[in-house]
Chains A and B, each alone.
Chain A
Amino acid sequence: MSTVVLLLFTGVGLGAIYFLVASGLSLIYGLMHVLNFAHGVFLSLGAFLGFEVASRLGATTWTGFAASLLVGALAGALFAALTERLLVQRLYERHIEQVLVTVGLGLAAVALFDGIWGTDPRFISGPAWMGRTTSVLGANVPNDRFVAILVAGLVLLGMVLFLRRTRYGMIIRAGVENRAMVTALGIDVRTAFTLVFTIGGIAAGLGGVLASHYFGYVSPLLGQTLLIFAFIVTVIGGLGSLTGAAIASVVVALLQQFANYYLWGTGDLAVVVLLAVVLLTRPSGLMGRRA
């Protein structure tokens, strides 16, 4: 029983990190039809800068942790906004070339991080409480899982409120539904493009800091590794659907954890099998629109 509870919390915690990456990917794809291969490096940059700030302010203090989250989010947002403005927007409406540009940026940025921070993982430490465990129904759950779940929950809430209650949120939702109509009404969707990239960058940056605590290290390839699972999550959840991304992140992460424990470490393969099954039965994903 305690194992199941532990796996549940670990899985949902991992799902929270997947969601932070996948939500941005899904929003960007939904509005712009761009598969953002640079999303992983937004995450890595957030993780590295968060690590730098935390180690300067004291890695084991709560101020250090809060500052690392803030800096991670800002770094992700800035990097994402610049990417959109300087690279993606120049190739307006040329989706495949937009994908290629993000692929190139991803390669170049990973190499640059290699050069700055080295290829070896940097092991990190957080506030003492995060390293300890809390007993839930007999299972000793590491506390960083709760922080990841809390932050991802807040991000989901924030995104939903933003999309439902604000003017720009409505433009983005309308753009996902029918971009041609939004443009025809005289609204400049390009601001919305920069905005979804920035929001995706914030979530990815936060995800980077949390992922580095979850895995206990930060390395230049951290983002790209998570990115592949985030791609799978967005396809399973349905491209462009925020709810789909949230559900699929948790499903994928739980499946991965349970298969790793009970099926001899086959978690990654189980996820790919799930992807194949979903594509065979519902090619547009769980919450995707029927094509």
Chain B
Amino acid sequence: MSTSTPASATAYRGGARAWVGRLAPPALVLLLACLPLLDLRLPGVLPGPTYTPGTLHLLALAMVMAALALSYHLLLGVAGLLSFGHALYFGLGAYLLGIVMSELELGLVPSVLVVLVAGVVISLLLGAVSLRVTGIPFAMVTLAFAQAGSVLVRRDPGRVTGGEEGLRLPTEQVPDALVGVADTRNLYWLALAALVLAFLLVSWVQGSRAGHVAAAVRENELRVRVLGMRPFLVKLAIFVAASVIAVGMGMVHLLLNSGAVPHIVSAELTISLLLMVVIGGVGSRWGAVAGAVLYVLLNQRLTVLAQATWVHDLPAPLRIPLSEPMFVLGTLFVLVVLFLPGGLAGTVARVRRWRGTAGPGGSTEGADRLEDVDDEQQVATAGGARR
């Protein structure tokens, strides 16, 4: 990219780039949709050829997590709400779908509708209580609610959740095409469709009036109030939207894994979502997707690495850290927070700017936005300090 390029040529190139930017997502979705029919191998990244059930299952899991990370992006990246209880809604979707199908003996489609309605009601109630506080107290309250849900699932009231053992998918209510290892490709397509739907929904919410007001509230809540708008209602709307998307993804996860385990309601799951979104870059939709895919693949590869024989032969100081995937991921996360503000998306944007070709929408929004998440709380504490 030489600096002597005439201005018109740069403009032309910028136009071409915009076209590529517009065509790339549908092309990518098309490619992903074709994967189960192809024999692609990515040694070191994927466990096997792309048509095998194992690989398809891993990719589908990555896509479900990416969609979940997108819903978390609505909370953190758009509304600036740091929630530690998002797993509650994911788990709610998975467990409630299983319970409705087995206890009420409804078919898959009516059950899905029941669960979605329940998700709206529960997230409205809990959101209305949690949103009475902002900033760090909000994080703690959501954490406490999720913890209550987690305790409830583990206690196994009325023997419906299966306790520590987890819940098994009631296969008699599910169409045959979505059950069994041989049909993994159908589940893969379902997960891909869910991801695309989540991306469109998140984009729509973010671009809607509520999304803009929520972003304004994140920047300066006081000013929004002065303008005569009600930040509480807007934040509640975003909270419910994000929670309902998470409920939906929980349902896909139940089908994909033929069951649900207590881990999906735990605080650890929410923290891994936070990891995905921050590694990808807070405030960027593509960042959330990329962060989630990276996280899921890395987690899988590191688990394989932990069982490798050469790792077992290492001396203890090297063997112990390498055989704990969460140690490596946690350390990676700390390094990203310390040295790569803006995560993957921010870094890509910065590299582009260095090369003098800042693409459309390319900026290090992520880094600035994290600060904005906090400003709101600063205002709150400054108000408090005056008593």
Contact = CB atoms under 8 A, between A and B. Distances in A.
Interface in B30-56: none
A111 B136 contact: no
A125 B365 CA distance: 53
A270 B231 CA distance: 30
B321 A112 contact: yes
Contact of B129 (A112, A279, A284): A279
A103 B325 contact: no
A90 B320 contact: no
Interface string B98-140: 0000000000000000000000000000000100110011011
B140 A35 contact: yes
A29 B321 contact: no
A184 interface: no
B384 interface: yes
A100 B330 contact: no
Contacts of B144: 228, 231-232, 235, 271-272, 275
Interface in A155-204: 177-178
Interface in B252-296: 267, 271, 274-275, 278
B229 interface: no
Interface in B164-216: none
Contacts of A91: 337-338
Nearest to A115: B320
B321 A235 contact: no
B348 to A, nearest CB: 20
Interface in A21-75: 29, 33, 35
Contacts of B275: 103-104, 107
B338 A90 contact: yes
A74 to B, nearest CB: 22
B258 to A, nearest CB: 25
B87 interface: no
Contact of B139 (A35, A111, A114, A268): A35
Interface in A77-110: 87, 90-91, 94-97, 99-101, 103-110
B129 A276 contact: yes
A107 B374 CA distance: 23
Contact of B385 (A105, A106, A112, A178): A178
Nearest to A109: B330
Contacts of A110: 326
Interface stretch (B17-25, B63-71, B375-383): B375-383
B16 interface: no
A111 B327 CA distance: 5
B326 A239 contact: no
Interface residues of B, number: 48
Most buried by B among A100, A228, A283: A100
Nearest to B385: A178
Interface stretch (B1-9, B148-156, B239-247, B355-363): B148-156
B300 interface: no
Given A100-B274, A279-B132, A289-B384, A94 B374 contact: yes
B147 A111 contact: no
B145 A272 contact: yes
Contacts of A103: 271, 274-275, 333
Contacts of B132: 279-280, 283
Contact of B152 (A94, A95, A269, A283): A269
A265 interface: yes
Given A178-B385, A279-B132, A279-B133, A105 B141 contact: no
Contact of B140 (A116, A178, A231): A231
Interface in A108-159: 108-112, 114-116
Contacts of B338: 87, 90-91, 101
Given A91-B338, A111-B330, A112-B327, A235 B320 contact: no
B381 A33 contact: yes
A90 B373 CA distance: 19
Given A103-B274, A105-B334, A35 B136 contact: yes
Contact of B326 (A111, A275, A291): A111
Contact of B136 (A104, A107, A239): A239
A270 B385 CA distance: 31
A101 B320 contact: no
Contact of A235 (B82, B140, B271, B274): B140
A78 B341 CA distance: 28
B326 A94 contact: no
Contacts of A283: 132-133, 137
B159 interface: no
Contacts of B341: 97
A239 to B, nearest CB: 7
Nearest to B369: A96
Given A35-B136, A91-B337, A99 B82 contact: yes
Given A101-B338, A235-B137, A279-B132, A95 B377 contact: yes
A177 B370 contact: no
Which of A91, A97, A178, A232: most chain B Cβ within 10 A?
A: A97
Instruction: Give 7 nearest A-B pairs by CB, closest first.
Output: A108-B330, A107-B330, A111-B326, A115-B320, A111-B327, A104-B334, A111-B324
28 contacts: A33-B136, A33-B381, A35-B139, A91-B337, A96-B370, A97-B370, A99-B139, A103-B274, A104-B330, A104-B337, A107-B327, A108-B327, A108-B330, A177-B385, A178-B385, A228-B144, A231-B144, A235-B137, A235-B141, A239-B136, A239-B137, A268-B148, A272-B144, A276-B129, A279-B141, A284-B384, A289-B384, A291-B384
Given A108-B329, A276-B129, A279-B137, 4 more contacts: A97-B341, A106-B330, A235-B144, A269-B148
